[in-house]
Structures are given as structure tokens and as C-alpha cells.
Amino acid sequence: MSVLVVDVGTSGLRAAVARADGSLDGLHYRAFPPQSPFPGMVEFDAAGMAAAVLEVAHAALAAAGPVAAVGITAQRASTIVWNRATGEPVGPGLGWQDLRTVFDCITAKAEHGLALAPNQSATKVAWLLNTYDPSRDLDLCFGTVDTWLAWVLSNGTVHATDHSNAAVTGLMLPDASGWSAKACDALRIPMSMLPSVVDTSGVFGQAHALPGAPPLAALVGDQQGSLVGQSCVRPGQAKITFGTGGMLDLITGPSAPATANRTADGTFPIVAWSRDGQLTWGAEAIMLSAGTNVEWLVTDLGMLSSPAESHEVAAQCDTSDGVVYVPALMGLGTPHWDYGARGTMLGLTRGSGRAQVTRAVLEGVAHRGADLVEAAEANTGHSVPSLRIDGGMSQNPTFVQALANATGKPVEVSRHTEATTVGAAYLAGLAVGVWAGFDDIASAWSPREVVEPSGQLDREQWARAVERSRGWIPDLSALDF
């Protein structure tokens, strides 16, 4: 049996058919970048997204044949509001990176005691309502991207999300047992517009928009999809996805956290998945910029012709010769959460050249990866035995070795650059019997390579460099979400 996966990321979307051995067939991809009409604003055309998803899903099925189930994975917290009767969005989709509601978050905390961040859905829903339905007269639906895709694929018969997506909207109770009436009342969000919450892995409808109307059997956030796709299904197992930013996710187990707020170590509790009504929890640590730093070398500085060249150039020197780079182009996430920190390069001499600077950038991202691991271990009490990674930077040998050296742990590189797609397939396949249980998923892990530490990076020097980068824009550093 096979599973169709629809995978919608921040800048593109894909559909592929996963086989029982974890291989992917019929993969079709379409770039679908968001728009930024003004600085800090990130929007997308939800109707255009729907059309593109249907296109790639039909193409994948035509190429790879019929399937037993459909799994959906998507960027989390991006927000769409649409008319229940017509299915038409009432305004633009607001991307998770959109910052137009920063002051709304500050107001929500001051007036209602709600700890909300602009990269969550809550204040984005309120903004769309205030802009397009200020009197709250219309019969509207809210959904994150997974919910919107389930609606589209089911021809409007399913309005649902799962716990992994719902728990990062800012609108759920801390134990993910249901929607928060307090948050909805404070933001004037009618609870009637919220989707039902279903298991991450479990049949919840049919994809009437596809040939044969296969069952819809999984909804999962992209980072949790990557976690399962890298067979991290036991407490203490962790992965980092190194894309534009970097996300570490670590399995903690069935116990719900006391709060949904950020911890003292700068991590967040997440729902890893739910199945048969039982929730499995995890912890998440966030790097605001990862691959962005390599793109900066290519696009803005013109030092490299492509991101892939960073490996070749950095390999021209054995060390960075004392050059240290803090990748804080958008501030620092876990554990510091300093939005006013800025990218910093230290230790430059007359002999510092292209190779040393490039290596310093790769090592800086590796240091930040080690920061995430240390924060997650401190928060959860779990010691990560080895680190699994995917994302574009996982293809860079110099970076992967630097990560192993910074963390002091073996680094296991996923066979799939985008393990999210595989994870959604596993979760959908579990629901219809393609895989019998999580033991099957655990045993399916077969990394492309395992990179052992070959030395050490100077973590004390790194800590001094981070302190130099912090507080560069005091007003932004003062923000706390």
C-alpha cells in the first residue's frame, strides 16, 4: 500500500507518493513563495495555494498510481480565514513570519495576561477579523494551512486541525485539551469559526477532490512531521531541521507540560503527535536564521556563486583562524530570545580571507545548533545520544562536521533532505495499516551517513562572541513574547 503526502512549506509545496519501504515516487514540486508588501508583512494567496496543491496532488497520483490514504503536513501557524458558504478566503493568508501584530501581542499581555507571539495564529485571526469582518457578522472559518488543505481536498466537507498544529496557534489550553475561551473572548474570535481537533494520525474524512476519494488520515505540523520522518519516536530522541531557520524538536513523552509558555531555557513545549486520543509531547528550540546566513554570503556579499560552494570554499582552510561569526541576522532565538541581537563577526585580521569567513559562517550556525541541543537537554532532563538532521544545510559536509564537533555528538544525516514528507506518510500509513506501529517507524531509520566528532569547537570563545552580538538594537531587545 502507498500514501499520498501533500507538503506545503514556507516557499514551496510538493506532493509525493510514499511506498511501504519509505521511498518516494511521483514527486511534484512548485515554488510558492509568499509576498512581502511592506517590511515585516508576509502574505500569501490562499486560493492560489489551493489550486497549486490540487495540481501537484493530481500529478503525483497520475505518475505513481492509487493510494490507501492521504497525509497533510504544512508550515505551522500561518493563518487563513474564509467564508464557510463559498469557501473563498476573505483576505490574504498571513504567513507565520508576519509581524504586523507585534503591538497586538503586547496589548494582549498587558490587558488580558495572554502570552502571545506574532508568529502564532491568535492575533493574526483577530487582525483578519478586525479588517474584513469588524462586526463579526459573517459565518467564517479559521484554519492554519493544514486545515485549509483538508477543506480543499475534502471539497469543503472537513474543517479540522490536529493537536500538533492547534497547540502552536496561541488559542489552545496549555494541556491541548481544547480551545481557550479566554483567549478567544479577549481577541473577539467567535469559537464557532475554529476547526475541530482530530488525531494527528487517524482517518478523519475523505479527499473527494482526488481520484477514488482516498481517506484523509494524517494532519501534522512540518517540524513534527520531520521529527517522525527521522524516526524520532522515543523519549530523548531529537532532530534539527536546518533550512532558512533551524528547528530542534525532542520527544519528551506522554506527560503534558504545566504551561504552554516559553521555558527558562528558551524552549517551548509542543505536541509531537496524537493517536487514538493519546498525546505525545516534545520540546522545541528555535534558531531564527540558519541557511539564511549562507544565502547572505551568496546574494548580498557575492562571495559565493551558490550555497553549495560554501563547502568547497570553507574546506580550503582547516580552521577559521580565529574568526567567529554569530548568525543573528534576525536576532537570537533559543536560549536568548533577543530580537535586537545582530549578526556579528569577530577576530578578523589582515590574513582573514574568503575561506576563513565562509568557514566561520558555517561554524557559527553549528554553534547555534549546539546551543539548541544544550537548551533542550537542560529543559527536559534528557541527554541526546546522537543528533539527526535534515534540511538544505544537511547536504554540506563541512557544516555537518562542524555540528558534530560543536555538539560533541554523532550526527546522523537523513536520506531525505525534506524528512517532513516521510513523516506525514508514516503517520497516515499508521492509520490505515501500512505500518503496524511506531516500532516499525523506529526500525525504518537508515541515515545517509553518520558523522562522528573529529575535534572540538571553542564553546567558551563562542559564548563571548554571542554576548558581543546581544542588545545591538535596545528597543527590539526589550521585546519579550
CATH number at 124 reads 3.30.420.40
| Calpha distance 447→424 (Å, rounded) | 18
The CA–CA distances, whole Å, from 187 to 78, 122, 129 equal: 17, 8, 10
User: What is the chain's pLDDT, residue by residue, as a tens digit (481 residues)?
Assistant: 899 999 999 889 999 999 988 899 999 999 999 999 998 899 999 999 999 999 999 999 999 999 999 999 999 999 999 999 999 999 999 999 999 999 999 999 999 999 999 999 999 999 999 999 999 999 999 999 999 999 999 999 999 999 999 999 999 999 999 999 999 999 999 999 999 999 999 999 999 999 999 999 999 999 999 999 999 999 999 999 999 899 999 999 999 888 888 999 999 999 999 999 999 999 999 999 999 999 999 999 999 999 999 999 999 999 999 999 999 999 999 999 999 999 999 999 999 999 999 999 999 999 999 999 999 999 999 999 999 999 999 999 999 999 999 999 999 999 998 899 999 999 999 999 999 999 999 999 999 999 999 999 999 999 999 999 999 999 999 988 8
Peptide bond into 307 cis (omega under 30): no
Instruction: Find all residues with CB under 8 Å of 159, minimum gap 6, and list them.
Output: 84, 141, 143, 147, 150, 151, 195, 196
Inter-residue contact 18 to 438 (CB < 8 Å): no
**Among candidate residues 201, 223, 245, the one where a domain is terminated:** 223
Residues 185 and 242 in one domain: no
Residues 193 and 239 in one domain: no
Residue 434 lies in a domain: no
- DSSP conformational letter for 480: -
Same domain, 329 and 472: yes
Grid cell of 27 as nine digits: 514527486
Reduce the DSSP state of residue 435 to 3 states and report it: coil
Same domain, 397 and 279: yes
Q: Do 20 and 159 reside in the same domain of the chain?
A: yes
Cell numbers standing for residue 393:
544545510
Judge whether 123 lies within some domain.
yes
| Range list of H helices, 245-334 | 291-295, 309-314
Residues 6+ apart with CB under 8 A from 312: none
Q: Does residue 425 sit within a domain?
A: no
Q: Does residue 437 belong to any structural domain of this protein? A: no
User: 190 with 307, same domain?
Assistant: no
* Listed residues 223, 257, 292: the one ending a domain: 223
Return the exposure string of 108-137: e unless at least 16 CB atoms fall within 10 Å of the residue's CB, then b.
beeeeebbbbbbbbbbbbbbbbeeebeeee
Q: Is 432 contained in some domain?
A: no
Q: Are residues 239 and 208 in the same domain?
A: no
Q: Are residues 121 and 237 in the same domain?
A: no
With left for phi above 0 and alpha for psi between -120 and 50, is residue 277 left, alpha or beta? left
Report yes or no on 85 lying in a domain.
yes
Residue with cell 514527486: 27
Crossing angle of the two packed helices 459-469 and 354-380, in degrees rounded to 10: 90
**Is 325 contained in some domain?**
yes
175 shares its domain with 238: no
Does residue 195 lie in a domain region?
yes
Q: Of 181, 202, 223, which one is at a domain's C-terminal end?
A: 223
Number of domains in the chain: 2
The domain in which residue 316 lies consists of 231-413+448-481
Asked if residue 394 and residue 249 are part of one domain, the reply reads: yes
Q: Is there a single domain that holds both residue 258 and residue 352? A: yes
**In sequence order, which residues have a C-beta less than 8 Å from that of residue 473 and are 6 or more positions away?**
339, 340, 342
Total-model pTM: 0.94
- 19 phi and psi, to 5 degrees? -90, 170
Residues 216 and 237 in one domain: no
Nearest CA among 232, 211, 229 for reference residue 220: 229
